[in-house]
Amino acid sequence: MTNTPLRTALVIASVSAIALSACGGDDGEGTIQIYTGRHYDLEEAFTQFADETGINIEFLEGSDAELRERIAAEGEDTQADIYMTVDAGNLATASEQGIFQPIDSEILTDAIPENLRDPDNEWFALSVRARTIVYSPERVPADELPTTYAELAQPEWNDRVCLRNSSNTYTQSLVASLIASRGYDEALEIVSGWADNAEILANDVIALNSVAEGLCDVAITNHYYLARLLEDDPDFPVELVWADQGGQGTHVNISGAGVTKYADDPELAQQLLEWLATDGQSAFVDGNHEYPVNPDVPPEALIATTFGETFEADQVNAADFGALNAEAVRLLDEAGYE
Amino acid sequence: MTDLAERAPASADEPDPSSRPTSSDSVRLEAGDRASRWGWPTAAVAIALLVVAPVAFLATSILDPNEEVWRAQWQSRLPGQLADTAILLVGVGVSSLLLGSGLAWLVTAYRFPGSRLFGWLLIAPLAMPSYVLGFVTISVFGFTGPIQGWWRDTFGADAWFPPVDSMGGAIVVFTLVLYPYVFLLARTALADQAGSAYDVARSLGASPTEAARRVVLPLLRPALAAGSGIVLMETLTDFATVQYFGVDTVSVGVVRIWRGTFDRDAASEFATLVLAIALLIIGLERILRGRARYGEAAGAATRLAARRLRGWRAIAAFSTCAFVLLVSFGAPTAQLVVWMIEEATGPRGTPRVDRFQEFFTNSVILAALTATVCIVAALLVTSAQRFRPGPVTSVSARATAIGYAVPGPVVAIGVVLALVALDDFLERFGSGLPGVVATGSLIGLVYAYSVRFLAPGLNTIESGLAQVPEAVTSSARSLGARPSVVAARIHLPLSRASILTAIVLVTVDAVKELPIAFLLRPIGFDTLSVWTYNLASESRFEQAALPALTIIVVALVPVALLSRQLSKQAAEVTT
């Protein structure tokens, strides 16, 4: 009777630990397990796949970088069959870390343009998100409309631009693509100009609302955030212009995936990627108003009619600007971009 | 975690029953004493090692610093990050201390309409995750929110409004969600004791202010120091909420280097900087806590005789409490409810609402397991310190704070690396850990949570035990009671309020915790905080309202239970 509480607590702790160790670890055969940094509307597409094929899919959602580290640390024991992220930089790094295996699939190489997949076929883009200029048609007359990223670094845009902070992946990958196409020094000049001109905000939705409410006249955001706001309110007073048309093309980042080196069943994982790039493309991209990677698949109605079916995209290989991400962060630091 | 649980009983004071001599009582006592001489310190050291291991794995990176990264950081963001960190810590620390202790004194020392109710309602903001208050604040008070919209409509488009996404905004938000730590600990300490000391001082002719300053404040020091320590740690290791406000702290820097440059080694080197600041905070907390041991004979503890406030004083006291509660909890919760209803009746609905029950259950299980493990470990470590005072036990106790001193994602990666190393080690002797070691089961997750949240539990229990006089322990021991008996029959009941508080702090922290769950959870095991974050990270704040509200409700349950217990205890003491 003496030290009951303490001992009871210890007994509870040991029993629960043992119980937990017993229930852990399901190797999930016949199931595809995906570690994903992409969080939206996953279930719609994958439920459809599961219904069509009878193959079960499980997710572990998380942050790109942490999931990558986790797969690397788990090594051969990993449950992940597929690693999926919303950013080329993470895919390129994952490839460098050696957590993928090359997939030799004609279906994938036919469906996905060359600049949107890994040169060694370790990962493949599955959707395209454009980062471009948005503006208030009320306050930016047509003849003043900025059409290039570089223009926003000019003094006439001082205090009229809203940009997203430099800790964000999308900002970093845009800058990485500037480095890829224009070289470090020219990119630094542009980014320094932005830093002087811009109000730096926490996310794209705030940036879009800030344009609507008059904090700034233009902003750079991903296209689907505007699509989402327009879906809720068709009169949302912000419009989009495709940047750098006739030049380098609008910067696009990708959401993509690869099959892990130690996948239980690589063929099954490959089958899923093939489906996502072809029959499942619409289901995968439409929910989030993204553009398909597969040129044969039309974009969903809202973005097709409001933003256009196609636009000139920067052709730089996603692997290249992905590899430049770390340099982009240094450049942002050097430019004093918040 | 298996490790902790299995090692702990073996190292507790009592020898294994099979090896216990049963010939006579005196022999039993000696055996118990011998075991306890080694048992307590061993338990404390074992727990400390388990907590330190994951962080140590990362911290060793500093032994081989990447000078290029440090130089580049020093030339660009680091000075600003250090400045932002310092301003944020001082701002949040001072304002939480003032607000928390002031409110605690107000509701304990005075009677005014609603004072009893406020006594526990004011703990409620503890249930509000800072990232939730952060995004609600930005959405409502930010430039694009309804308040500033109305302001511009009324006073013109250029009318000045204090910038919300600023250092000031961050300090206000952190203070509003973190002051309850100070409030709670101060109030617990006031309820546990202080009453009679105050009365004696008053009867000896001290004015109320003088008695409060010279008698009550010193008695509260351990609690205030522990509370402020928690506040500062939470602020220091946050990397998500600060970003809503454009505040660039050292923790943001760590996560930024890691996620942006994909350089884990550089990030862990940087994390040692966060660790160094945390050690400063711990040192500061030690100094604030003071060397003296306070504590009254338990029987003599009486409740403060509260003074009744009337007229404008009563109105002022009421308004102060009501205002704090409104801005920290009432208004943001109301906003979340409005969003939730809009989403529920809107065309989209909240994604994954069909898995609600599952998320809910997972969060509750995880929080309960974490609280159990942390409290047991904290009790063992604090008891070891009391029974075997000395450098070994006290260093162990301080070392357990380390997990609380680094940002969540860093702890999580450290745990992965530590468990993978352990698995490799075990495999050399035949078999590794069952399943996918670190990450395939709940064990890694509960382990990481415990590494992270042992410190608030331990700090709280320690400050409670500090009020039990050493003399009580030593006289019980000199009468022949074994340490475990003293712990169970004397320390536990006397520091009951602190233990309860510790349970609440750890549970609430665990329900709100995000980055560790994000990285370490078993596949398919999603929690409420993961659900909230997935939506919030895509700026779907309206859709995140339902999960965010659920977190608040779940976290409120232990808070309410604690409040009830505290009032009951207070009532017992008065009668």
Q: How many residues does chain B have?
A: 575
Is residue A243 within 8 A of residue A148, CB to CB? The reply is yes
The vertex-B484 CA angle with B46 and B35, nearest 5°, equals 60
Distance from the Cα of A66 to chain B's closest Cα (Å) equals: 6
Residues A122 and A10: their CA atoms lie apart, in Å, by 48
Inform me whether the C-beta atom of residue B492 falls under 8 Å from chain A C-beta atoms.
yes
Go through B199-225 and write b for each residue having 16 or more CB atoms within 10 A of its CB, e for each that does not.
bebbeeebeeeebbeebbeebbbbbbb
- What is the DSSP annotation of A217-236? SEEEEEHHHHHHHHHH-TT-
pLDDT given at position B302: 59
pLDDT single digits (tens) B212-245: 777 777 878 888 998 898 899 899 988 889 988 9
- What is the DSSP annotation of B491-525? IHHHTHHHHHHHHHHHHHHHHH--HHHHHHSPTT-
Residue B493 has pLDDT above 50, yes or no: yes
With 0.95 as the threshold, say if the pTM is over it.
Answer: no
3-state secondary structure of A98: coil
Cα–chain center distance at B270 = 23
pLDDT given at position B27: 40
With contacts defined as CB-CB under 8 Å, which chain B residues touch A40? 351, 538
pLDDT single digits (tens) B92-134: 999 999 999 999 989 988 899 998 889 888 989 988 989 899 9
The shortest CB-CB distance from B246 to any of A24, A325, A338 is to: A338
A244-253, B184-193, B456-465: which is most confident: A244-253
Residues A32 and A46: their CA atoms lie apart, in Å, by 11
Compute the average pLDDT of residues B6-25. 40
Residue B335 has pLDDT above 80, yes or no: yes
Single out the residue of B53, B37, B57, B49 nearest to residue B7, CA to CA.
B49
Residue B34 has pLDDT above 70, yes or no: no
pLDDT given at position A40: 63
User: Helix/strand/coil (H, E, C) string of B524-567?
Assistant: CCCCHHHHHHHHHCCCCHHHHHHHHHHHHHHHHHHHHHHHHHHH
Is residue A200 within 8 A of residue A164, CB to CB? The reply is yes
Residue B19 has pLDDT above 60, yes or no: no
Compute the average pLDDT of residues B514-521. 77
Residues B228 and B234: their CA atoms lie apart, in Å, by 10
Inform me whether the C-beta atom of residue B46 falls under 8 Å from chain A C-beta atoms.
no
pLDDT given at position B294: 52
Inform me whether the C-beta atom of residue B499 falls under 8 Å from chain A C-beta atoms.
no
Inform me whether the C-beta atom of residue A304 falls under 8 Å from chain B C-beta atoms.
no
Q: Do B261 and A330 touch (CB under 8 A)?
A: yes
pLDDT given at position B59: 76
Top pLDDT among B492 and B10 is at B492
B 65-104 residues inside an 8 A Cβ radius of A: 72-73, 76-77
Which amino acid does the sequence have at A123? W
Helices B250-261 and B78-109, interaxial angle, to 10°?
Answer: 130
Question: To probe the interface with B, which of A203, A224, A331 has the most B CB atoms within 10 Å?
Answer: A203
Residues A87 and A105: their CA atoms lie apart, in Å, by 22
Single out the residue of B444, B77, B240, B221 nearest to residue A24, CA to CA.
B444
Inform me whether the C-beta atom of residue A213 falls under 8 Å from chain B C-beta atoms.
yes
Residue B285 has pLDDT above 90, yes or no: no
Q: Number of helices and strands (H, E) in chain B?
A: 27, 2
Residue B180 has pLDDT above 60, yes or no: yes
pLDDT given at position A212: 94
The vertex-B405 CA angle with B442 and B46, nearest 5°, equals 60
Distance from the Cα of A44 to chain B's closest Cα (Å) equals: 10
pLDDT given at position B479: 85
Residue B172 has pLDDT above 80, yes or no: yes
Q: Do B6 and A6 touch (CB under 8 A)?
A: no
pLDDT single digits (tens) B150-171: 999 999 888 889 989 899 999 9
Is residue A114 within 8 A of residue A284, CB to CB? The reply is no
pLDDT single digits (tens) A174-197: 999 999 999 999 999 999 999 999
Compute the average pLDDT of residues B433-456. 75
Helices A169-182 and A184-197, interaxial angle, to 10°?
Answer: 140
Q: What is the mean pLDDT of chain B?
A: 82
- Token duo for residue A19: 């119980």
Is residue A41 within 8 A of residue A92, CB to CB? The reply is no
Residues B434 and B430: their CA atoms lie apart, in Å, by 12
Rg of chain A (C-alpha set): 23
Single out the residue of A129, A165, A134 nearest to residue A147, CA to CA.
A134
pLDDT interval class at B456 (50, 70, 90): confident
Top pLDDT among B232 and B62 is at B232
- Please give chain A's pLDDT, 338 residues, in tens: 344 444 544 454 444 444 444 343 444 557 899 999 887 666 678 889 999 999 999 888 888 888 888 888 788 888 899 999 988 888 988 999 999 999 999 999 999 999 999 999 999 999 999 999 999 999 999 999 999 999 999 999 999 999 999 988 899 999 999 999 999 999 999 999 999 999 999 889 999 999 999 999 999 999 999 999 999 899 999 999 999 999 999 999 999 999 999 999 999 999 999 999 999 999 999 988 999 999 999 999 999 999 999 999 999 888 888 889 999 999 999 999 98
How are beta strands A198-201 and A161-164 bridged, if at all?
parallel
3-state secondary structure of A85: strand
pLDDT single digits (tens) B374-420: 999 999 999 898 888 888 888 898 888 788 877 777 787 788 778 77
Question: B345: exposed, middle or buried (C-beta count within 10 Å: 0-12, 13-18, 19+)?
Answer: exposed
Residue B17 has pLDDT above 70, yes or no: no
CB pairs under 8 A, 24+ apart, for B148-156? B148/A213, B149/A213, B152/A213, B152/A214
Is residue B120 within 8 A of residue B563, CB to CB? The reply is yes
With contacts defined as CB-CB under 8 Å, which chain B residues touch A33? 523
Question: A119: exposed, middle or buried (C-beta count within 10 Å: 0-12, 13-18, 19+)?
Answer: exposed
Residues A120 and A298: their CA atoms lie apart, in Å, by 27
Percentage of the residues of chain B whose pLDDT score is greater than 90: 27
Which amino acid does the sequence have at B320? T
Single out the residue of A69, A220, A169, A152 nearest to residue B439, CA to CA.
A69
Residues B33 and B43: their CA atoms lie apart, in Å, by 15
